[in-house]
Chain A
Amino acid sequence: GAVVSQHPSRVICKSGTSVKIECRSLDFQATTMFWYRQFPKKSLMLMATSNEGSKATYEQGVEKDKFLINHASLTLSTLTVTSAHPEDSSFYICSARDRAGGTNTGELFFGEGSRLTVL
């Protein structure tokens, strides 16, 4: 299956600083990537849909000025948590669809996740 790489896997930062998380599709082009946040009780929350070359689409309740998403190429999307606070500590996961051949049945391929801890 398609491979999605996410970096860093773990990051610890001080309150007030910004943190950037990268998501790369390694062997396919992803016009669309998705960013999820996973809470301690395991549920996945879709934060935003990242579209190559255009603005991201944020889900209701997600602060777009807080969670900056950039999708500058067909293989890279970045999530920047700006002015991080302890409540932003979480597990962030990106995913992408492989649209090879113009077909898409909807399965997503996920990165390994990034554990953010804000002190």
Chain B
Amino acid sequence: AQSVAQPEDQVNVAEGNPLTVKCTYSVSGNPYLFWYVQYPNRGLQFLLKYITGDNLVKGSYGFEAEFNKSQTSFHLKKPSALVSDSALYFCAVRDMGGGSYIPTFGRGTSLIVHP
């Protein structure tokens, strides 16, 4: 079985400050991990993924995420937030060893960047 948790319903950060959006996961095997962003009334856009290799993954729009196997986490980060980063962020996981090829999504975290 695979599951993912986004413990924060909303994250508030001032423009220019670093941001972190948290994600933890549970899989029976090794994980594929993904982050997506959704702007209002739009579909989801793929940001980045972790498959294997370096634990720090760099993605679109200056975002990065760090895979931490011991903590089963894949937090999304950005060194300096922009107001335009305000959106809904989804973490997703797929168990490489599982029978399903469908990723499981977290409930989403609203990121609000204040000017």
Contact = CB atoms under 8 A, between A and B. Distances in A.
B103 A108 contact: yes
B88 A42 contact: yes
Interface string B81-108: 0000000101000100000011101011
Interface residues of A, number: 25
A109 B102 contact: no
Given A34-B102, A44-B105, A105-B51, A95 B32 contact: no
B64 to A, nearest CB: 16
A107 to B, nearest CB: 5
A32 B100 CA distance: 13
Q: Summarize B's interface: helix, strand, loop or mixed.
A: strand
A6 interface: yes
Interface in A15-73: 32, 34, 42-44, 46, 49
Interface residues of B, number: 21
Q: Summarize A's interface: helix, strand, loop or mixed.
A: strand
A88 interface: no
A111 B44 CA distance: 7
Contacts of B103: 106-108
A113 B107 contact: no
Interface in A87-119: 91, 93, 95, 97, 104-113, 115
